[in-house]
Structure 1
């Protein structure tokens, strides 16, 4: 139709068509139809141009608004990348944006081979999962925002578990939060948060050293020693923060990559160190990571198959029971460690009932830890420990006693 309209107008201009009485635009019905088409095209072009200008002017404000809503200043880069992808896709196919949103964009990034894309996906999903859910309110706007938040959680779980790459994604997440992960604590925390969200769909037997990676979160010394005793080299990209576990060739590659991106050609062009964070913040982060690890293990232990695999996992019980064995409640303080101690006892209460030979060996290991037994007995006698902790300690001690009685043949 566009070509026909142009040909009609050219024919009039060349005098190939006779013009009858001029009406409206100054032409007959054929010429009027041709002009209608061209004017419509001009209008559409103006709308598209206006949209592009609006996007260019307001994309910064939109990115800032999203970052502010999720309290994640670093989320802006990922949001801008998402907007640019949608814009580029819609320019080729107007239906490109159908069914796509920030969650699907982040899941696609987790599946990508690009390291930078993977980190962006972690940042997006981590921010969405950390956002506190609004409490129920009579305000219709608040109720709508609450539904949106809950819907995001549902969508994240659905998109991850339904993905054909779910196993690959989980493996990558476990490696990211593992003891030899080169990523900094913020990225590792994002990975742990995502693993917790889908823990109910994970069978640990399918992931070699998966429990080892998760249990590394329970080691407060492994989490804090680098922050307290070392300063993070300034040449490391922000996503990396654990230089002491990197191989020499990895450190050299990261240093050269960072220097190149900064335009630093000489060694003296970069500072040697970054300012260390305060010990108090590091300690808080250690506890947060330990608690996340406890939550993941608790979610996994709800499955009988996982419970048996966890009972067979070498070294897990020692790390899990460490806060109890050290009696941190009474040696450090109830306020500082009660939350972690409660979760530790909850997970042990699940594992102590593990069936078969694995459960027997686990109970035997726990009975051999005299410090842990003494600490749980101290909880029963402490007025500050609270009823919840006392009930958990009592259930564990009772299960150990019954298991020992059965193992000894039921004799007194």
Structure 2
């Protein structure tokens, strides 16, 4: 009983110290500049400093002191409201692109705003020719997987909005430039299902490559076809009597076929695809293998349709490629 009484007494003293001493100190620490700024403004308005010896020199000195304190308080309020407005701006951007308000895209936009604000604080010209698209492309140039993932999320979110024609054109122009060839190479390497790539990175890369296929020339990336081909290797896995390819396998196959269809729209890419006989065999596998008969047609329909679309694209391509 005595121990319980002592414990209650100690807890009461702690709460009392917290309420009487620490809380006012915390409030003074947070609002000190606002309080001193308000007092300084009041003193500058009243200018009632009293009559003291040497007042001729004291009054100008006090005016300077109060003016500095007021200026410091104004700067503090400006920075406070600036940060508050920044959170609101991030929310508006996320809402504009119709994305999850608490998802990873919000973190990427918030980091973009923070870096832009810090850069402009050092050099006002920092904002020139800088926007969310250029920021995302720059992130994907870094070796850090976190930066690459953040940049890929932004590009994927922008490309998913069909009405953002201007942003799409800018992304295609930047990615298609020679200086960004390493980004395209990274995107193609991320498609390699044989490597231990993060699943999210692979899915993001697949969607971005589909949207930017018109800017990708496979001749510049010899390993590109091999990486895309690896997505179709799951089509060679015949199901057992009581098992079927998982949803992940089917998703990878469909993504690979959609990417090939987009790339084959370019006649030079189509020619390179046709030269790879093993790749063509994998493209036809979803409809030529027994999977179409052994697996429920509804489950396999989308993959088979994507396979037919690629073959149709190749056969109807102009010139000798389609004839062959």
Query: Which bin holds the TM-score, normalised by the shorter protein?
Result: 0.5 to 0.7
Return the offset for 1:220: 2.8
Cα distance in 1 for residues equivalent to 2:176 and 2:53: 66
Cα distance in 1 for residues equivalent to 2:57 and 2:93: 60
- Give deviations 1:269-309, integer Å, cap 9, x for gaps: xxxxxxxxxx99x9333333322221211122122221211
Q: Which residue of 1 aligns with 2:31?
A: none
Structure 1 residue 123 and structure 2 residue 158: aligned? no
Q: Which residue of 2 aligns with 1:332?
A: 295
Return the offset for 1:188: 0.3
Could you tell me the TM-score, scaled by structure 2's length? 0.66
Q: Which residue of 1 aligns with 2:170?
A: 155
Change (3 A) 1:51 1:159: farther
Q: How does 1:267-346 map to 2 (within 5 A)?
A: 283-326=246-289, 328-346=291-309
1:206 maps to which of 191, 210, 220:
220
Cα distance in 2 for residues equivalent to 1:311 and 1:14: 98
Could you tell me whether the CA contact under 8 Å between 2:176 and 2:215 is conserved in 1? yes
Could you tell me the TM-score, scaled by structure 1's length? 0.54
Q: How does 1:10-89 map to 2 (within 5 A)?
A: 41=71, 44-52=74-82, 54=84, 58=87, 62=91, 69-71=98-100, 73-89=103-119
Could you tell me whether the CA contact under 8 Å between 1:110 and 1:121 is conserved in 2? yes
- Give deviations 1:243-273, integer Å, cap 9, x for gaps: xxxxxxxxxxxxxxxxxxxxxxxxxxxxxxx
Return the offset for 1:86: 1.8
Cα distance in 2 for residues equivalent to 1:180 and 1:333: 27
Could you tell me whether the CA contact under 8 Å between 1:351 and 1:359 is conserved in 2? yes
Change (3 A) 1:286 1:127: farther
Structure 1 residue 168 and structure 2 residue 198: aligned? no
Q: Which residue of 1 aligns with 2:315?
A: 352
Cα distance in 2 for residues equivalent to 1:178 and 1:14: 84
Q: How does 1:209-248 map to 2 (within 5 A)?
A: 209-220=223-234
SS in 2 for 1:323: helix
User: Which structure shows the higher helix fraction?
Assistant: 2
SS in 2 for 1:113: coil
Cα distance in 2 for residues equivalent to 1:68 and 1:352: 38
SS in 1 for 2:302: helix
Q: How does 1:355-374 map to 2 (within 5 A)?
A: 355-356=319-320
How many residue pairs were aligned?
267
Cα distance in 2 for residues equivalent to 1:211 and 1:338: 25
Change (3 A) 1:343 1:332: same
Could you tell me whether the CA contact under 8 Å between 1:67 and 1:76 is conserved in 2? no
Change (3 A) 1:47 1:319: same
